[in-house]
Every structure is written in structure tokens, then in C-alpha cells.
């Protein structure tokens, strides 16, 4: 029995070391390939969100899990986390929606009007794309990057983990921001994305629940689409 335990411990330590060695090279390589893809190719939005991110965000995580056998990443989307994660995601997404609605109303003026969004096929198509975006980005930036950082730097404070994870999130989105916006809008978009990334990182840090972030992220995307 002691020898088996030592073997398991040795295997775990070896996997952890592999993870520490390949983490930054894998993230940097993914960033370079993603930035190159975004700058050279212009595909439909559905292709980018469903297939493009599956390749550029999903495959690196799959590779990392297979090399390191990191169970913490897999635990972030275990079955027992589905129900509490979805409930938490709806709650946080509702806060996003309410806050954005009030902000839009104050900024633009006017009156509150009902809109039959849920009866629109366009709405559900956009929501599907938002879910795809949220799925792949949550998998890469939080289930992979944030968990790997917490394991690599176990003595760091929560704030340092949150800031570094959010910075990586922002850097990956920066090429698209620079391609789509100019002038003061770049600063606004950067600030908005950083604030969102920090909020999501704090939400993920305590429970490490993949489903909560996917749903809150998707609702946030739809809030921006509807109000801004």
C-alpha cells in the first residue's frame, strides 16, 4: 500500500511539473495563432464562435488535460455543479441585465417599453452564438488558465490570480478590439472587457463552477447586443 501511494504521489507531482512547464508556452502559442487567425481571415460570426474557438481554445485545453491529467479542470464542469451553476448564472446574468437596462435608460433617456425578444428567431440564434462564445472562453480562460495559475502559484493572493487571469483574457480580445474600433472607443472597450473579466474571475474563484460563468457570460453578451 505505501508503495502504491508513493507511486500515485510521484505521478501527481510529475503531472503538475509537466503542467508548469507547458502552461505559458501553450498560452502564448494559442494567443499568437488566435491573433494571426483574427487578422488574416474574415469568416462569418457563427464560424468564429462555433468552430474557430473550438479549435483555438478547445484543443489547447484538451491537450493540457491529456498531458497533465489535471482533474481540477474536469471538476469545474462536473455533473453535480450543473444545477447550482445554472441558478447562479441566471442570478448574476439578471444583475447584469438589470444594471445595463438602467444604465441605458439613464444614458439615452426615454421610457421603458416592452419588447417581444423571446418570440424572435434572431434573438435565439444570437443567444446560441452567445452560449458558444461563453462555452469556449470559459473553458479556456477560467477552467484552464485560472485553475492552472492557482496551481502554479498557490501562495499568491486571490487578487493576483484574478488580475493575471483577467489580463490574459483582455490580451486575447485586444486584436479584435483594435480591428473593430478606433479612438476613444478602444479605451472604453478595454475598460469594459477588463471589468467583465475581473467580475467573472471573482465569480469563478470561490466555486470553480464552469456552468455559472457560461450562462452569466452569455446573458452579458445578449445584454450588450440588446441595449448597446
pLDDT (tens, 9 = 90+) of the chain, 228 residues, equals 555 544 444 555 556 676 778 999 999 999 999 999 988 988 999 999 999 999 999 999 999 999 888 889 999 999 999 999 999 999 998 888 778 777 766 666 655 555 566 677 788 899 999 999 999 999 999 999 999 999 999 999 999 999 999 999 999 999 888 888 888 888 988 998 999 999 999 999 988 999 999 999 999 988 877 765
Question: Distance of alpha carbon 54 from its chain centroid, rounded?
Answer: 13
Q: Residues of 15-27 as b/e, b for ≥16 C-beta within 10 angstroms?
A: eeeebeebbeebb
Q: By residue range, what is the domain housing residue 133? A: 2-227
Give yes or no for a contact between 144 and 213, defined as CB atoms under 8 angstroms apart: no
The structural domain count of the chain equals 1
* Whole-number pLDDT of residue 111: 55
Instruction: Give whole-number Cα distances, 82 to 78, 137, 173, 214, 221, in Å.
Output: 7, 18, 27, 11, 21
pTM over 0.75: yes
Amino acid at each position: 500500500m505505501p508503495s502504491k501511494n508513493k507511486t500515485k504521489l510521484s505521478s501527481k507531482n510529475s503531472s503538475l511539473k509537466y503542467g508548469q512547464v507547458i502552461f505559458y508556452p501553450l498560452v502564448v502559442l494559442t494567443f499568437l495563432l488566435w491573433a494571426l487567425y483574427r487578422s488574416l481571415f474574415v469568416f462569418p460570426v457563427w464560424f468564429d464562435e462555433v468552430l474557430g474557438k473550438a479549435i483555438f481554445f478547445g484543443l489547447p485545453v484538451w491537450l493540457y488535460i491529456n498531458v497533465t491529467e489535471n482533474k481540477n479542470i474536469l471538476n469545474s464542469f462536473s455533473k453535480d455543479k450543473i444545477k447550482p451553476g445554472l441558478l447562479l448564472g441566471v442570478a448574476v446574468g439578471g444583475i447584469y441585465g438589470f444594471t445595463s437596462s438602467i444604465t441605458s435608460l439613464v444614458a439615452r433617456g426615454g421610457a421603458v417599453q416592452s419588447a417581444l425578444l423571446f418570440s424572435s428567431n434572431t434573438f435565439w440564434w444570437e443567444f446560441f452564438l452567445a452560449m458558444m462564445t461563453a462555452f469556449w472562453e470559459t473553458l479556456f480562460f477560467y477552467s484552464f488558465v485560472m485553475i492552472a495559475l492557482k496551481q502554479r502559484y498557490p501562495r499568491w493572493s486571490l487578487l493576483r490570480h484574478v488580475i493575471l487571469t483577467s489580463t490574459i483574457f483582455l490580451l486575447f480580445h485586444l486584436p479584435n478590439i483594435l480591428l473593430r474600433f478606433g479612438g476613444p472607443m478602444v479605451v472604453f472597450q478595454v475598460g469594459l472587457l477588463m471589468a467583465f473579466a475581473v467580475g467573472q474571475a471573482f465569480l469563478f474563484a470561490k466555486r470553480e463552477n464552469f456552468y455559472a460563468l457560461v450562462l452569466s457570460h452569455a446573458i452579458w453578451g445578449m445584454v450588450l447586443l440588446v441595449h448597446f
